Amino acid sequence: MKIIKLTTYRVPPRWMLLKIETDEGVVGWGEPVIEGRARTVETAVQEMEPYLIGQDPARINDLWQTMYRAGFYRGGAILMSAIAGIDQALWDIKGKVMGKPVYELLGGLVRDRMKMYSWVGGDRPSDIIDHIRTLREGGFDTFKMNGTEELGMLDTAAAVDKAVERVAEIRAAFGNSIEFGLDFHGRVAAPMAKVLLRELEPYRPLFVEEPVLAEQAEYYPRLAETTSIPLAAGERMYSRFEFKNVFHAGGLSIVQPDLSHAGGITECLKIASMAEAYDIALAPHCPLGPVALAACLQVDFVSYNAVLQEQSMGIHYNRGGELLDYVLNKEDFRITDGYMKPLSKPGLGVEIDEARVIEASRNAPDWRNPVWRHADGSVAEW
Ligand SMILES: O=C(O)[C@H](O)[C@@H](O)[C@@H](O)[C@H](O)CO
Ligand SMILES: [Mg+2]
């Protein structure tokens, strides 16, 4: 079997799907994308084509290493997202050829169902209580929200209190009948992270995500010494070589690689195994589309340390497109009592509605995250 064609489809709300065709008619789908940089990743995928056309899609490891090493320069959000989507599609092809879901090719199920969580609130978390109530009726009991608005490198007690009060309201409304993670989203600089963590301690969030920016990872062990709140990160780290340094330095309790940013299934399986050796839990990041989620779930169901899975149904980013819009086997993505079952159809387990994808790609928006500014006019971390 040989790879004969790669086609990318940028689709609403902000995703990109990749179709890899073979000379024997087997097709694989991937989701190579960086939110807000879809066109850049699209070009990176196109630049990877010479390594792939005419090659045997079964040789995923060799193709992965070639895409990673042959161009001399390596790593980073764009190249690793391009490799990620291609890798996903190659695993999809392999599973379809062998008539098995990817998790069967990786040693079979380690669990029978996977715990899912849902975003609540938006960029500026508000009306969270009602949103949680609604989602609880749908079976969720675990949530994630932005932990704060934009925050200055040194900010006021009032700003800290505003963030903490929201969390206090949630605990007052729901007690410990729910769990929630707080995503600092990189908005909190090192001087404020310790302050905010201390004030949040009494409310026992399930985790705090990206407590500081990924480029400040050396603070993870220092912050972990000051709090019992589990610290989580990973969506802005792109290879096992980056994760290696963070695991070795310590401080992370939960690692959140993104299956569409960190090299795909092949790379994230290695990251998951490395994390397990350090007793670090796995909670793949996935605010993206159905192929990205399917790839996450294939890794979750073979990774002992997988504890939570993000999914984007109802997320505040999904304007103009929802997770299941491009999926034919929607029923397989049902979340019951906050859990998903394994996707057991061959390959990644997602059947793409290609006609819908092609139609939606005709006028895909170029999504961009907003540019926030502090009161003094300087750019703020969004
Ligand atoms: O945890 C999450 O889902 C992420 O922080 C998410 O909010 C961002 O990755 C966003 O998709 C960037 O455009
Ligand atoms: Mg996040």
> Which residues does ligand 1 sit against, CB inside 6 Å?
35-36, 183, 185, 235, 285, 287, 310, 317, 369
Using pLDDT thresholds of 50, 70 and 90, give the confidence band for residue 314.
confident
Strand partners, 6: 20
Ligand 1 site-directed mutation target among 285, 296, 310, most atoms within 8 Å of CB: 285
Task: Check whether residue 170 and residue 143 sit in a common domain.
Answer: yes
What are the phi and psi torsion angles at 35 (to 5°)?
-55, 120
The answer to whether residues 184 and 208 touch, using CB atoms and an 8 Å cutoff, is yes
Ligand 1 atom at minimal distance to the Cα of residue 185: 5
Any domain includes 359:
no
User: What's the average model confidence in pLDDT over 46-59?
Assistant: 98
CA distance 241 to 233: 15
Any domain includes 368:
no
Per-residue pLDDT tens digits for 129-168: 989 999 999 999 999 999 999 999 999 999 999 999 999 9
Ligand 1 site-directed mutation target among 35, 120, 255, 286, most atoms within 8 Å of CB: 35
**Last residue of a domain, which of 74, 100, 126?**
100
Report CA(340)–ligand 1 centroid distance (Å): 21
**Last residue of a domain, which of 100, 128, 163?**
100
Any domain includes 95:
yes
Using pLDDT thresholds of 50, 70 and 90, give the confidence band for residue 209.
very high
Using pLDDT thresholds of 50, 70 and 90, give the confidence band for residue 323.
very high
And the tokens for 53? Answer: 């056309």
Ligand 1 atom at minimal distance to the Cα of residue 14: 13
Per-residue pLDDT tens digits for 13-27: 999 999 999 999 999
Q: Does residue 257 have a cis bond before it (omega within 30 degrees)? A: no
Using pLDDT thresholds of 50, 70 and 90, give the confidence band for residue 317.
confident
Report CA(107)–ligand 1 centroid distance (Å): 31
**ipTM higher than 0.95?**
yes
Any domain includes 328:
yes
Per-residue pLDDT tens digits for 236-254: 999 999 999 999 999 999 9
The answer to whether residues 249 and 218 touch, using CB atoms and an 8 Å cutoff, is yes
- The answer to the question of whether 104 is labelled as a binding residue is no
Residue 62 has pLDDT above 80, yes or no: yes
pLDDT given for residue 6 in this prediction: 98
Report CA(159)–ligand 1 centroid distance (Å): 22
User: What's the average model confidence in pLDDT over 113-128?
Assistant: 85
Residue 211 has pLDDT above 80, yes or no: yes
Task: Check whether residue 96 and residue 108 sit in a common domain.
Answer: no
User: What's the average model confidence in pLDDT over 68-84?
Assistant: 98
Give the strand pairing for 27-30 and 15-22: antiparallel
- Which ligand gives the minimal distance to the CA of 232? 2
Q: Which residue owns the Cα nearest ligand 1 atom 3?
A: 287
Any domain includes 235:
yes
- The answer to the question of whether 209 is labelled as a binding residue is yes
Q: In degrees to the nearest 10, what's the CA dihedral of 56, 69, 347, 144?
A: -170
Structurally, the chain folds into a number of domains equal to 2
Q: Percent of the chain at pLDDT above 70?
A: 99
Task: Check whether residue 254 and residue 333 sit in a common domain.
Answer: yes
pLDDT given for residue 319 in this prediction: 87
Task: Check whether residue 83 and residue 110 sit in a common domain.
Answer: no
Instruction: Find, among 97, 103, 166, 177, the residue nearest to 136 by Cα.
Output: 177
Catalytic: 185?
Answer: yes
Report CA(356)–ligand 1 centroid distance (Å): 25
Report if pTM > 0.95: yes
Task: Check whether residue 8 and residue 140 sit in a common domain.
Answer: no
Any domain includes 367:
no
Residue 125 has pLDDT above 70, yes or no: no
CA distance 30 to 19: 7
Q: Which residue owns the Cα nearest ligand 1 atom 8?
A: 287
Task: Check whether residue 90 and residue 148 sit in a common domain.
Answer: no
pLDDT given for residue 363 in this prediction: 87
pLDDT given for residue 127 in this prediction: 74
Task: Check whether residue 164 and residue 307 sit in a common domain.
Answer: yes
Q: Which residue owns the Cα nearest ligand 1 atom 11?
A: 287
Q: Which residue owns the Cα nearest ligand 1 atom 2?
A: 287
Ligand 1 site-directed mutation target among 188, 212, 235, most atoms within 8 Å of CB: 235
- Which ligand gives the minimal distance to the CA of 118? 1
pLDDT given for residue 126 in this prediction: 60
Task: Check whether residue 134 and residue 11 sit in a common domain.
Answer: no
Task: Check whether residue 8 and residue 157 sit in a common domain.
Answer: no
Q: Find the angle CA(224)-CA(191)-CA(188) to the nearest 5 degrees.
A: 80
pLDDT given for residue 219 in this prediction: 98
Residue 229 has pLDDT above 70, yes or no: yes
Residue 124 has pLDDT above 80, yes or no: no
Ligand 1 atom at minimal distance to the Cα of residue 210: 5
Any domain includes 253:
yes
- Can you give the residue range of the structural domain that contains 36? 3-100
- Which ligand gives the minimal distance to the CA of 38? 1
Domain CATH number, residue 197: 3.20.20.120
Any domain includes 34:
yes
Task: Check whether residue 121 and residue 230 sit in a common domain.
Answer: yes
Per-residue pLDDT tens digits for 272-282: 999 999 999 99
Report CA(187)–ligand 2 centroid distance (Å): 11
pLDDT given for residue 123 in this prediction: 72
CA distance 358 to 88: 19
Using pLDDT thresholds of 50, 70 and 90, give the confidence band for residue 315.
confident
- The answer to the question of whether 130 is labelled as a binding residue is no
**Last residue of a domain, which of 80, 100, 120?**
100
pLDDT given for residue 245 in this prediction: 96
Task: Check whether residue 180 and residue 208 sit in a common domain.
Answer: yes
Least confident of 15-19, 317-321, 336-340: 317-321
DSSP tag of 4 = E
Average pLDDT value for the chain? 97
Task: Check whether residue 138 and residue 91 sit in a common domain.
Answer: no
Report CA(250)–ligand 1 centroid distance (Å): 23
pLDDT given for residue 66 in this prediction: 98
Domain CATH number, residue 36: 3.30.390.10
